[in-house]
């Protein structure tokens, strides 16, 4: 086998053989296939796609590149959730302790920012002392004690995906359905969770821009999960507008704590509860009441214990950006559109995301939203506040937001689209 022949096969719209797939994943993991060669193959996959058989074999090869975890020693049933990525999508932060408060164990292996979407680990690292890297015994210990853990996948878990995930972020190949599906499911299957709920985002701020592509991705992942013995379902959820009122790292942590305290934006609360109910049902706990656990403080208690168990201080002040700039409404009327992609791009340009896989992120950078579609606004009032430590980035963020909003004058019959669009599986 050689990398060039594998690249040419997919470049010329051919079907990769099982042997080619097994070899290229193994060779890339070992360093025999270079990053630039895997970049070319990833681009060929993005442009020409993969069959279901190819995706299944690719996923299996990614799983086989490392170890598989085992949570059978836990007294609780395990349930996990994965989002395909959105803008302002901080749902994992309140969701994991909430589901744990209802009796399930949540081994939430999460990632870093990918393109214009935020990363759960980047957000949590804004909490002083919190650490993303845990040993397997530490992970099991926290799960047994607290019931929830959010951490990075260990080096031994699907190492092929760890390399490819970072490469896709900086080579324009994030949006490939086969690569998204195999990336997500290789980690989740190897992780060893008993059940999995997928939050597949749809809209301008998501990698899946339309419902048909989102359905295809969801169906592919649900099939992969169930074929490997993981009870898997998916919710298709809207991402035309950012979730909540913040996009950034520390900004989103602060908003997540508000949700756990019984407040927070209505859309974040609604989606958190919808996913919690889906996870609890998949885990065999359909009678648990996540709304009660959110209201009575038990979810907050689990959050504090989870953060503390991973070295964080839940009472420490969160970082704030040194510089702020306000974007105002250009006219009066009803805000009818606030584009999620534009907000995510602005947050990324302000320093909340990374341009290269080795780049750091700014904990305090991001965008704060003061109005949402359906709100009445007055010319000159604040629409957005931009946060960054590097004020020279303000013009680039403002450029990203140039066409992000629409304001209608006169009477407007505005109805916000639903958060949950469909269920798959």
Q: Which residues are catalytic?
A: 82, 161, 168, 183, 187
Radius of gyration of the chain (CA): 21
- Strands 79-83, 195-202: pairing is parallel
Residue 388 · residue 351 · CB < 8 Å? yes
Residue 119, Cβ neighbours under 10 Å: how many?
A: 21
Q: Cβ(52)–Cβ(21) under 8 Å?
A: no
Q: Please name the residues in contact with 116: beta carbons below 8 A apart, sequence gap of 6 or more.
A: 87, 205, 341, 344, 345, 347, 348, 353
Helix, coil or strand: residue 299: helix
Per the document, the length of the chain is 425
Residue entry with tokens 């744990």: 100
388 phi and psi, to 5 degrees?
-165, 160
DSSP for 72-94, please give it.
TT-SSPBEEEEE---SS--THHH
CA 202 to chain centre: 13
Q: How many helices (H) and strands (E) does the chain have?
A: 16, 13
Q: Are 150 and 108 in contact (CB under 8 A)?
A: yes
The answer to whether the CB of 189 falls within 8 A of the CB of 70 is no
Report which DSSP code applies to 423.
E
Q: How far is CA 403 from CA 28, 124, 368, 397, 407, in A?
A: 41, 31, 17, 12, 11
The whole-angstrom separation of Cα 299 and Cα 307 is 12
Q: Is 13 exposed, middle or buried (0-12, 13-18, 19+ CB in 10 A)?
A: exposed
Categorise residue 410: left if φ over 0, alpha if ψ from -120 to 50, beta otherwise. Answer: left
In what side-by-side order are the strands of the sheet with 323-328? Answer: 246-248, 366-369, 382-388, 323-328
| 200 closest CA partner among 232, 240, 237 | 237
């Amino acid at each position: 086998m050689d990398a060039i022949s594998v690249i040419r096969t997919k470049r010329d719209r051919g079907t990769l053989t099982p042997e080619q797939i097994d070899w290229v994943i193994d060779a890339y993991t070992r360093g025999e296939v270079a990053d630039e060669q895997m970049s070319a193959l990833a681009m060929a996959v993005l442009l020409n796609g993969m069959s279901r058989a190819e995706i299944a074999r690719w996923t299996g090869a990614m799983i086989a590149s490392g170890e598989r975890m085992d949570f059978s020693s836990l007294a609780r049933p395990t349930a996990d959730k994965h989002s395909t990525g959105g803008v302002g999508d901080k749902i994992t932060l309140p969701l994991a302790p909430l589901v744990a408060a209802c009796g399930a164990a949540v081994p939430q292996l999460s990632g870093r920012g990918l393109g214009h979407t935020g990363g759960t680990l980047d957000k949590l690292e804004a909490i002083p002392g919190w650490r993303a890297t845990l040993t397997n015994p530490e992970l099991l210990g926290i799960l047994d004690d607290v019931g929830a853990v959010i951490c990075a996948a260990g080096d031994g878990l699907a190492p092929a995906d760890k390399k490819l995930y970072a490469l896709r972020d900086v080579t324009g190949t994030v949006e490939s359905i086969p690569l998204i599906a195999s990336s997500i499911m290789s980690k989740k299957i190897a992780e060893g969770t008993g059940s999995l709920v997928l939050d597949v985002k749809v809209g301008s701020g998501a990698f899946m821009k339309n419902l048909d592509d989102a359905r295809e991705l969801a169906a592919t992942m649900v099939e992969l999960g169930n074929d490997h013995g993981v009870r898997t379902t998916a919710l298709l959820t809207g991402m035309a507008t950012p979730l909540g009122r913040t996009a950034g790292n520390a900004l989103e942590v602060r908003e997540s704590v508000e949700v756990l305290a019984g407040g927070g934006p209505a859309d974040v609360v609604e989606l958190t509860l919808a996913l919690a109910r889906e996870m609890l049902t998949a885990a065999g706990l359909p009678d648990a009441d996540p709304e009660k656990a959110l209201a009575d403080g038990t979810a907050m208690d689990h959050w504090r214990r989870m953060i503390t168990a991973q070295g964080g201080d839940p009472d420490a002040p969160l970082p704030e950006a040194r510089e702020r700039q306000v974007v105002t409404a250009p006219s009066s009327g009803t805000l009818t559109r606030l584009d999620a992609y534009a907000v995510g791009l602005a947050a990324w340009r302000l320093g909340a995301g990374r341009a290269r896989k080795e780049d750091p992120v700014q904990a305090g950078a991001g965008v704060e939203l003061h109005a949402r579609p359906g709100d009445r606004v007055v010319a000159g009032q604040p629409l957005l506040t931009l946060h960054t430590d590097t004020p020279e980035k303000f013009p680039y963020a403002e450029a990203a937001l140039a066409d992000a909003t629409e304001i209608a004058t006169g009477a407007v019959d505005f109805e916000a689209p639903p958060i949950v669009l469909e269920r798959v599986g």
